[in-house]
Structure 1
Amino acid sequence: MEGVKGTDTKRRRLGPAERRAQLIDLGMRMLADRPLDQISVEDIADEAGVSRGLLFHYFSSKHEFHVELVRHISRDMLECTAPDETLEPFDMLRGTIVAYADYVTERRDTYVSMLRGTASGDPEMREVFEQTRTAMVERTLRYLPDIGIDAGPAVRLAVRGWVAFVEDITIAWLREPAIDRDEFIELAVGALPAVTYAAVALGETARAGSLVPKDEPTRLA
């Protein structure tokens, strides 16, 4: 590819989409050994063999470049943790959590710096994070009917809480792994049916209560 150090391929002019993809790819490689806020425009331009001015032709600012990196990571994480629909529902859930645990472990510093570093306070970054969480909620809700759970309002809220729970314990686990990987996976897997069944029970209680006439006091058994 043009401009990348150490390549022997014939030089050719890259189109805008190819050049942007090249620069994003270089940024992703750098994230392997440094947090997001340490990815500099100068380092990217130098590695790509282009001027800083040319880099700003494709990204208006360092901030825009960082936001695009976060979008790429979010899409990549969703693709890597996509459920295997050939499995039974609970095996599908476990497989997704296993893939997620592997993904974040391999990118520990990147993941922690994104969700708890300076990026977490940026409105555009938060929007990307929220879009990712929403995608995780929606795909989880899609498979709940397979285990007999209807995705009503209480269940939807419970699933959002589960996604937030998994995200939070992941950060804590990556910082200080007080339990091993298998225990972490089982904790994350077991939490989903716990909160969704609680939401279902809440709905059933509410429906049962609505059957009691308003002018008739509820009798204790």
Structure 2
Amino acid sequence: MRRRLSPEERREELLAFGQGFFAEHPADAFTMDQIAARAGVSKGLLYNYFGGRRGFYVATVEAIAGQVSILTEPESDMAFVDALQRALERYLRWVADHGDVYRVLVQGGLGVDPQVAEIVERLRRTTVSRVTSRMRAKPTPTLALAIYGWVCFAEHACLEWLSQPGVDADAMLALLTGALAGAVGGAGLSWDEVMHA
């Protein structure tokens, strides 16, 4: 007999389903009845947790962003350059293993949904803050802008990477690290000035 799930466990289960579902189907291609049938739950249950199809989609994107945020947080107990390298390795592994889910996060599926755009933007700003707060150099507006540009580059380079099977993870890691060094240089600082903190 299946164990009765708590409301939070049930919500997490539905969000896990949502990640797989929206990775395979456009968010607006199915009705709530159809989505509920695919999930094996009542439509009322989905409405109860998410308020509708858009709410379910937005909550799913938020859950994906939460996963990415956790896995890309640099460890605080090691040199930042090493912590950043490890965070990028985890990020690239996750993108490679969850390519369709990554596309849901970065490309969206309900046109330009302001809530989804806000979730993605919040993740970008969190990443910028994490990087600049650990740098040895004082974060200037120019440096913050350069890091923001690098974050956006990394997002879209990874999207392209998913369709380029000839590029391995080591090459991608070198590309992202080199692009960050270039962004830092463009802000008038050297890699050593900012990274060895």
TM-score by length of 1: 0.74
The structure 2 residue matched to 1:156, chosen from 131, 144, 150, is 144
The total of aligned residue pairs comes to 189
Corresponding residue number in structure 2 for 1:196: 184
Corresponding residue number in structure 1 for 2:24: 34
Amino acid at match of 1:164: C
Corresponding residue number in structure 1 for 2:164: 176
- Structure 2 distance, partners of 1:139, 1:77, is 13
Amino acid at match of 1:103: W
User: SS state of the match for residue 200, structure 1?
Assistant: coil
Q: Is the 8 A contact 1:159 1:196 kept in 2?
A: yes
Which stretches in structure 1 are left out of the alignment for 5+ residues? 1-7, 203-221
The offset of 1:197, in angstroms, is 2.9
Q: Is the 8 A contact 1:114 1:120 kept in 2?
A: no
TM-score by length of 2: 0.83
Corresponding residue number in structure 2 for 1:133: 124
The offset of 1:20, in angstroms, is 2.5
1:20 equivalent in alignment to 2:11: yes
Q: Is the 8 A contact 2:15 2:59 kept in 1?
A: yes
The structure 2 residue matched to 1:56, chosen from 42, 47, 54, is 47
- Decide whether aligned partners of structure 1 residues 21 and 39 sit closer, same or farther in structure 2, where only a CA change above 3 A counts: farther
The alignment's C-alpha RMSD in Å is 2.5
- Structure 1 distance, partners of 2:187, 2:47, is 49
User: SS state of the match for residue 118, structure 1?
Assistant: coil
The offset of 1:127, in angstroms, is 0.9
The offset of 1:26, in angstroms, is 2.6
- Decide whether aligned partners of structure 1 residues 104 and 42 sit closer, same or farther in structure 2, where only a CA change above 3 A counts: farther
Deviations 1:79-124 (A, max 9, x none): 1122122332222111111111011111111222442353462221
Corresponding residue number in structure 1 for 2:193: none
Larger Rg: 1
Which stretches in structure 2 are left out of the alignment for 5+ residues? 191-197
- Structure 2 distance, partners of 1:116, 1:28, is 14
Q: Is the 8 A contact 1:26 1:44 kept in 2?
A: no
- Decide whether aligned partners of structure 1 residues 108 and 35 sit closer, same or farther in structure 2, where only a CA change above 3 A counts: farther
Report 1 or 2 for greater relative contact order, CA contacts < 8 Å, sequence distance ≥ 6: 2
- Structure 1 distance, partners of 2:35, 2:109, is 20
- Sequence identity (%): 29
The structure 2 residue matched to 1:110, chosen from 101, 107, 122, is 101
- Decide whether aligned partners of structure 1 residues 40 and 26 sit closer, same or farther in structure 2, where only a CA change above 3 A counts: farther
- Decide whether aligned partners of structure 1 residues 69 and 81 sit closer, same or farther in structure 2, where only a CA change above 3 A counts: same
The offset of 1:131, in angstroms, is 0.7
Corresponding residue number in structure 2 for 1:166: 154
- Structure 2 distance, partners of 1:27, 1:46, is 13
Corresponding residue number in structure 2 for 1:211: none
